[in-house]
Structures are given as C-alpha cells and as structure tokens.
C-alpha cells in the first residue's frame, strides 16, 4: 500500500488543519499514514531561534494568523485561540502521541489535542487537559502518562526529533514519501499524489 509520513508539532499552527485533513484525504487517496509527532524547538534552536519565527518576524506572524483564519474558514474548521501565549508547549502531548503509536490511538489523540489548542481555548501543557482528552478516547490516563514520562519514551521522542533533523525537516507540518520531503499544510495534496504515483 502507498504510504506517507506525517510529521507534526503540537505548537505548529499549520499542523492543525493538516492533522484535521489528512485522515480523510489519505483515505480517499488510498494512502496509509504514519503519524510522527516531533519537536520543533531543538530544530529552531539549531537555526538560531529561541522562539517561534512567527513571533520573531512580526509581519510573517501577522500574515500567518490571517492566513490560518482563511484556511480554517475554507475547511469549516473552528479557530478560537487560547488566552495563553503562543506557541503552547506541546512536549507532554508529543510524548503521549508517541506512546499511542503502538496502541493505534495516535491519530484520534492528535486531532483532539489540536482541537483543544486551536478550537477550545485549552492549555495543552496542562495535565488536566491531556487527562480529559485521554479519558474521552477511552484510554486509561494513568497508564498512558506513566508510559509517556518514562525514560524510554522521552528518549524515543528525542530520537524522533533527531531523525526529523537528519532527514532535512525544518518546519511543520512536513510530509515524507520515501526520500521526498513536502513542507506545509498546502503541500498535503501534492504529497498524497506523490505517494500514490510512487
């Protein structure tokens, strides 16, 4: 079966529409998706940034928020930002998303975290937010959080992020088909076509 890797970061704004769209579009294209949470922080740090480029470069940030509004409106996705400073810390959520991979709940968990952040004004670094999401999905929060915070899983997320950097990722969302990299929510359709063709 044709397949695609979906690399995303919970703090990344354009990862939100990508996470909400990829299930449907990949299903229609007959492409299997591997969901790969990672952290942009270490990658941005290597580029010399200690904050989101959307905060560092003001005009770019202003544009991004308006562009995201238009994209969400066109997709029928709610967009309601939380009152905490952008970007939110997605570390705990990313560790949980990684735990879910073997259990099969990563896609549903990921969508719920993005909805919490971008539509429900929740603080996704808050254990209560994550616990409520896990419970709503029928996942035992204590077991999941223990696995997420265990040393093996922390190391696995570090390695996932190192793999991202080694494979040329510099932003999120990114899609990889074989060795072919596609960057940005707006490249999802092209990446899926590539996956089908190759």
For a copy of itself, the binding residues (CB under 8 A) are 47, 57, 59-60, 62-63, 66-67, 70, 74, 165, 168-171, 180-184, 186-187, 190
Helix 188-197 and helix 15-29: axis angle, to 10°? 30
* Helix (H) / strand (E) containing 5: strand 3-8
Nearest to 35 by CA among 52, 18, 47: 18
> Please, what is the minimum distance in Å from the beta carbon of residue 65 to a copy of itself?
12
Question: Which lies closer to a copy of itself via its Cβ, residue 67 or residue 123?
Answer: 67
- Nearby residues of 147 by Cβ (< 8 Å), 6 or more positions away: 99, 153
Output the CA torsion sign for 98, 100, 106, 112: negative
Question: Which lies closer to a copy of itself via its Cβ, residue 47 or residue 136?
Answer: 47
Backbone angles phi, psi at 94, to 5 degrees: -65, -40
> Please, what is the minimum distance in Å from the beta carbon of residue 87 to a copy of itself?
19
Question: Which lies closer to a copy of itself via its Cβ, residue 143 or residue 193?
Answer: 193
> Please, what is the minimum distance in Å from the beta carbon of residue 63 to a copy of itself?
6
Q: Coil, strand, or helix at residue 37?
A: strand
Question: Which lies closer to a copy of itself via its Cβ, residue 86 or residue 183?
Answer: 183
> Please, what is the minimum distance in Å from the beta carbon of residue 52 to a copy of itself?
15
């Amino acid at each position: 079966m044709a397949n695609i890797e979906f690399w995303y970061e919970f703090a990344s704004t354009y990862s939100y529409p990508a996470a909400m769209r990829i299930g449907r579009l990949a299903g229609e294209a007959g492409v299997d998706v591997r969901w790969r949470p990672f952290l942009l922080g270490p990658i941005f740090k290597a580029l010399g940034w200690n904050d989101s480029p959307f905060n560092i470069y003001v005009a770019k940030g202003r544009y991004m928020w308006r562009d995201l509004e238009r994209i969400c409106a066109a997709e029928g996705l709610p967009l309601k930002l939380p009152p905490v400073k952008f970007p939110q810390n997605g570390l705990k959520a990313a560790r949980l998303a990684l735990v879910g991979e073997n259990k099969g709940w990563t896609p549903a968990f990921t969508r719920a975290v993005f909805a919490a952040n971008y539509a429900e004004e929740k603080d996704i670094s808050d254990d209560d937010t994550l616990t409520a999401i896990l419970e709503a999905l029928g996942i035992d929060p204590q077991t999941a959080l223990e696995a997420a915070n265990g040393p093996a899983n922390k190391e696995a997320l570090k390695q996932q992020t190192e793999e991202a950097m080694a494979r040329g990722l510099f932003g999120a969302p990114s899609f990889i088909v074989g060795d072919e990299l596609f960057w940005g929510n707006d490249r999802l359709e092209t990446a899926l076509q590539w996956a089908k063709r190759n």
